[in-house]
Amino acid sequence: MSADQEFAIRARNLTKAFGSLVAVDHLNLDVPKSRIYGFLGPNGSGKSTTIRMLCGLLTPTEGTATVLGIDVPGDVDELKPRIGYMTQKFSLYTDLTTRENLEFIADIYTLSRAVRKQRIEELLEQYDLGAQQRQFAGTMSGGQKQRLALACAVLHKPELLLLDEPTSAVDPSSRRDFWAKLFRLADAGTTILVSTHYMDEAERCHRLAILDKGVKVADGTPGDLQANTGMTIVEVLASSPYSAQGLLSRLPEVASVTQLGVRLRVLVPESVRQPLDLIQAALHAGDISAETNIVAASLEDVFVAVTQKNTLQEHTT
Amino acid sequence: MISARRLVAVMRKEVRQLRRDRISLGMIIGIPIGQMLLFGYAINTDVRHLNAAVADQAGTHLARQFIAELEQTQIVDIRLEVATPKQLEDLLRVGRISVGIYLPPDFDRRAIDPQRPAAHLLVDGADPTILGVANQLTNMPFGFDSSASSPRTRSLEVRPYYNPERRTAVNIVPGLIGIILTFTMMLFTAVAIVREREQGNLELLINTPVSSLELMVGKIVPYVVIGLLQLGLIVTVGWLLFKVPIRGSIADLYIASFFFIAANLALGLFISSVARTQFQAMQITIFILLPSILLSGFMFPFEGMPAFAQYLGEILPTTHFIRLTRGIMLRDAALFEMRGELLALSVFTVIAMSAAVKRFTRRLD
């Protein structure tokens, strides 16, 4: 099996600079086919810019990418019928009805009359929009709009689906529902690239890349990433969490302290031998009583750990 | 390659959206009718019934006869009688009258003396139109001195062609077609594209196989049809209300309008590629509309403008179109005789359209 058949997207040293701002910095990417691949990163980390380069909307300053076997930048006109794209902001016509929007998109992809009719019926059913088919898109709820946007993006059965923060405007139950649909699409063979800043969403991806300030700081399966943080995660249940946090974050050995309700999550590099003793000693010196446990890393810990590293490197260079 | 399916899809979408936009829909009919009524009835360069006051210091029978004759011209309406020319000046200054008529005490003697004017007209000359009209009064023949002096033989006689009744509407309405089409066509197209960008639809569309040419052509074709409908409406209303004739061929008028609409739509598309918001698009439209009204020969005779204003006017499509409509409607000119104007419109369209398409595809980066 050649690399092109195995991967839907391959990017090498993909870079985009806007003036002096480097939005995406030498990004290498291998997105396997029929998988959900996540881009996790805060706002401004280069997620949208990368997606736009991959679908040919932006010309990379440097580097190359191959998307579905087509070189980007290159003949993106060939690529467009084979990809589906969902924008961050709702971008269908608010003054057209659900059905009219679907019909318009179907015509844009020049689906035949028969296929158009069949696909639209199918999608209205699958995406639970039957009751809204004569409703103006602008008057629908966030969840309904999002289902319509996804329905329009998959109308022409694209091989690759690019979703730019698709769930930023919907409630948790709609998000769960949305992800169930993504898994169903992936099962049917669609490759999905989705950007998000929600940890729970990133956790659902088959693979993910963590982006920070345009740089890929980690990639792998969520399980691998959680197993290889290079950090020991200590959960601290202290009597006064606020002062404990102040105290612990001043320790040179501690990489980060995050408060979650009454608990603190303390990240200590694995090179530190006895992390529990270290923390207990520090808290005792500060006259704070606490319960400490070593716990498994969550994806948020991974995120904190890798972005911390990136910041540390910046300070040293 | 242009796909007919996609083109039709874009057009159908555009018509659906327009059909639901009650206000824009109303404007398509409301703007032409409103402007026709306003311009047709309000603009009148053949001014009559100027407010006037008279200071008659002669008080003779001859003086009263003279005043009566002045009134009969209908150029002035005498509202007030005052005692002194000073009072006439005061009335002029506060704006109560536009013309003051002063008859000096020796009016009767002056009237028979060909060397001296019998009376004075004090005119608010700030408005050249009023000055011009008041000047007509100086040509008024005196009924009482027919025996005293021989009637002056004029070296030139004016024979007004095409509009012998000197009705302003006859000149205004053909020009108004140009102004109304400029406004609606330019604004509708500019806003139609900018709206897609502002509302984010464009970000979705550029990821689909639809090309910028399909999108632009699909969006403007409905407006070409609307423009031609507006033309019919204006011509009909002009005929019904103002008896504005169409002496030339209607087919010629439609062909000329087609060229003109194309030029304005191209300009509208170009505006849409410059403007980021609908508000900016509207501002740029007004920025182009104003010179189109003032420099195109619509309001003022083109030949009377300074050279640089004429050069500016030549750039505007409205200038060429107004020459065409006045030629066809009033002077029965054939389109072929005015092909230079059509050529100018075509050149404008090609330049504006190329610039728009070029800018449009470039904007994504």
Does one domain contain both B126 and B269? no
Q: Which of B16, B208, B210, B364 to mutate to test the interface with A (most CBs of A within 10 A)?
A: B208
How far the first Cα of chain A sits from its last, in Å, is: 42
Contacts of A166 (CB under 8 A, 6+ apart): A86, A88, A146, A149, A150, A178, A194
Q: Do A270 and A196 belong together in one domain?
A: no
Which two three-digit tokens encode residue A137? 């898109």
Q: Please list every residue in chain A whose beta carbon sits closer than 8 Å to the beta carbon of residue B6.
A: 107-108, 110
Q: Which helix (H) or strand (E) holds B13?
A: helix B4-20
Question: Which helix (DSSP H) or strand (DSSP E) does residue B229 occupy?
Answer: helix B212-242
In terms of domains, do B123 and B265 share one?
A: no
Across the interface, of A55, A81, A96, the residue whose CB is closest to B209 is: A81
Q: Assess if residue B159 is contained within a domain.
A: no
Choosing from B145, B178, B207, the residue where a domain stops is B145
Q: Are residues B192 and B286 in the same domain?
A: yes
- CA A199 to chain B, closest CA, distance in angstroms equals 26
Whether residue A281 sits in one domain with residue A151: no
CB B124 within 8 A of CB B99: yes
DSSP bridge pairs for A161: A84, A192
Exposed, middle or buried, B159 (CB in 10 Å: 0-12/13-18/19+)? exposed
Cβ–Cβ under 8 Å, residues B3 and A110: yes
Residue B350 clears pLDDT 50, i.e. is over it: yes
Question: Which tokens sit at A257?
Answer: 């302290």
| A217 lies in the same domain as A234 | no
> Is A307 part of a structural domain of the chain?
no
- What's the rounded Cα separation, in Å, for the pair A138 and A55? 27
Residue of A89, A93, A109 lying closest to B208 (CB–CB): A109
Query: A91 vs B6: CB contact, 8 Å cut-off?
Result: no
- Going by pLDDT thresholds of 50, 70 and 90, the confidence category of residue A290 is confident
The CA dihedral of B353, B359, B360, B362, to the nearest 10 degrees, is 150
Residue of A nearest to B16 (CA): A96
% chain A with pLDDT above 70: 96
Residue of B nearest to A112 (CA): B5
Domain count, chain A: 2
Tell me the C-alpha distance between A172 and A175, whole Å.
5
CB B312 within 8 A of CB B291: yes
pLDDT in tens, B160-206: 788 877 777 888 889 989 999 998 889 888 888 888 888 889 888 88
Which candidate, B72, B117, B118, B126, places its Cα nearest to that of B99? B126
Instruction: Say if the Cβ atoms of A87 and B9 lie within 8 Å.
Output: no
Q: Answer yes or no: do B82 and B104 share one domain.
A: yes
**Which pLDDT value is given to residue B148?**
44
Q: Which residue has the tokens 């002062």?
A: A243
Residues of A in contact with B364 (CB under 8 A): 57-58
Q: For residue B364, name the pLDDT band (cuts at 50, 70, 90).
A: low
In chain B the first and final C-alpha atoms are separated, in Å, by: 23
CB contact under 8 A, A91 and B9: no
- Rounded Cα distance between A239 and A274, Å, is 22
Which residues span the domain enclosing B18? 4-43+168-362
- The answer on A136 and A52 residing in a single domain is yes
Residue B150 placed within a domain = no
Instruction: Please indicate whether residue B190 or residue A108 has the higher confidence score (pLDDT).
Output: A108
Say yes or no to pLDDT of A63 above 90: yes
Residue A312 lies in a domain: no
Domain co-membership, A238 together with A203: no
Compare CB distances from A108 to B6, B200, B364 and report the shortest one's residue.
Answer: B6
Interface test mutation site (partner B, options A68, A88, A89, A104, max chain B beta carbons within 10 A): A104
Q: Do A186 and A269 belong to one domain?
A: no
Option in B13, B206, B207 nearest A96 (CB): B13
Question: Which residues of A fall within a CB distance of 8 Å from B363?
Answer: none
Tell me the per-residue pLDDT of B243-276, one tens digit each, with 9 for 90 and over: 888 999 999 999 999 999 999 998 998 998 888 8
Which of B351, B359, B348, B349 is closest to B212 using CA atoms? B359
CATH number, domain with residue B107 = 3.40.1710.10
Instruction: Answer whether B207 sits within 8 Å of A57, measured CB to CB.
Output: yes
Q: Does some domain include residue A303?
A: no
pLDDT above 60 (res A235): yes
pLDDT at A104 over 50: yes
Q: Are A253 and A123 found together in one domain?
A: no
ipTM: 0.82
* Residue B269 falls inside a structural domain: yes
Domain shared by A214 and A242, yes or no: no
CATH code, A266: 3.30.70.100
> Across the interface, do A93 and B9 touch by the CB < 8 Å criterion?
no
Q: Per-residue pLDDT for B302 more than 90?
A: no
Would you give the DSSP letter of residue A82?
G
List the single residue in A59, A109, A152 with the smallest CB-CB distance to B209: A109
Contact A93 B3 (CB under 8 A): no
**CATH of residue A93:** 3.40.50.300
Rounded distance between C-alpha atoms, residue A206 and residue A32, angstroms: 10
Task: Report the C-alpha gap between A280 and B13 in whole angstroms.
Answer: 68
Could you list the beta-strand ranges (E) of chain B.
50-56, 76-82, 99-103, 120-123
Show the tokens assigned to B330: 């009033």
Q: Does B145 touch chain A (CB under 8 A)?
A: no
Give the pLDDT band of residue B142 (cuts 50, 70, 90).
low
What does the mean pLDDT of chain A come to? 89
Tell me whether residue B157 is in a domain.
Answer: no
Chain A residue with Cα closest to B212: A77
Q: Say whether both A134 and A262 belong to one domain.
A: no
Q: Which residue of A has its CA nearest to B18?
A: A95
Q: How far apart are CA B327 and CA B50, in angstroms?
A: 33
Optimal mutation site among A108, A109, A113, interface B, most CBs of chain B within 10 A: A108
> CB–CB of A83 and B200 under 8 A?
no
Q: At A301, list the tokens.
A: 């810990």
Assess whether A204 and A245 both reside in one domain: no
Q: Which of residues 110-139 of B touch A (CB under 8 A)?
A: none
Residues forming beta bridges with residue B123, ordered by sequence position: B99
Domain assignment present for residue B162? The answer is no
- Mutation for B interface: A48, A88, A93, most B CBs within 10 A: A93
Is there a single domain that holds both residue B56 and residue B137? Answer: yes
CA distance A77 to B220: 23
Residue type, B228: L
Q: What is the pLDDT of residue A118?
A: 96
Chain A touched by B16 (CB under 8 Å): yes
The answer to whether A169 and A90 are in contact (CB under 8 A) is yes
Q: Are residues A135 and A241 in the same domain?
A: no
CB A15 within 8 A of CB A22: yes
Residue A4 amino acid letter: D
Percent of chain B past pLDDT 70, that is, above it, reads 93
Considering the domain architecture, whether residues B29 and B86 belong to the same structural domain is answered as: no
**Contact call for residues B246 and B328 (beta carbons, < 8 A):** yes
* Contact call for B208 and A92, based on CB within 8 A: no
Q: Are A94 and B9 in contact (CB < 8 Å)?
A: no
Closest partner residue to A107 (CB to CB) among B6, B202, B207 is B6
Residues in chain A closer than 8 A to B199 (CB atoms): 91, 94
The answer to whether the CB of B82 falls within 8 A of the CB of B36 is no
Dist CA A205 CA B338 (whole Å): 69
Residues 6+ apart with CB under 8 A from A203: A222, A299
- Are residues A233 and A294 in contact, defined by beta-carbon separation less than 8 angstroms? yes
Quick one: B206 and B353 in the same domain? Answer: yes
CB atoms within 10 A of CB A237: 15
Residue of chain B whose alpha carbon sits nearest to that of A78: B209
Domain count, chain B: 2
Find the helix packing angle between A241-249 and A275-285, rounded to 10°. Answer: 120
Quick one: B39 and B184 in the same domain?
Answer: yes
Band of pLDDT at residue B1, cut at 50, 70 and 90: low
| B273 & B322 share domain | yes
In a domain? residue A183? yes
Q: What is the mean pLDDT of chain B?
A: 86
- B21 and A CB contact within 8 Å: yes
pTM: 0.81
The count of CB pairs under 8 A between chains A and B is 66
For A258, the domain range is: 230-296
How is residue A97 written in tokens?
A: 């009805």
Domain-embedded: residue A302: no
Question: Is there a single domain that holds both residue B310 and residue B331?
Answer: yes
Q: In Å, how far is B210's CA from the nearest CA of chain A?
A: 6
Of A95, A104, A109, the CB nearest to B20: A95
Q: What angle do CA B178, B180, B183 make, to 5 degrees?
A: 105
For chain A, how are helix, strand and coil distributed in percent, rounded to 5?
40, 30, 30
Q: Residue B353: inside a domain, yes or no? A: yes
Based on the domain organization, do A168 and A283 belong to the same domain? no
Q: Are residues B19 and B117 in the same domain?
A: no
Q: Are B277 and B193 in contact (CB under 8 A)?
A: no
Task: Report strand pairing: A83-86 vs A160-164.
Answer: parallel
pLDDT of B268 reads 92
Instruction: Tell me if A110 and B6 make a contact (CB, 8 A cut-off).
Output: yes
Report the sign of the C-alpha dihedral through residues A222, A227, A233, A237, in that order: positive
Decide if A313 is inside a domain: no
* Same domain assignment for residues B25 and B105: no
Mean pLDDT of A162-180: 88
Going by pLDDT thresholds of 50, 70 and 90, the confidence category of residue B149 is: very low
Using the 3D structure, point to which of B80, B112, B145 is the last residue of a domain: B145
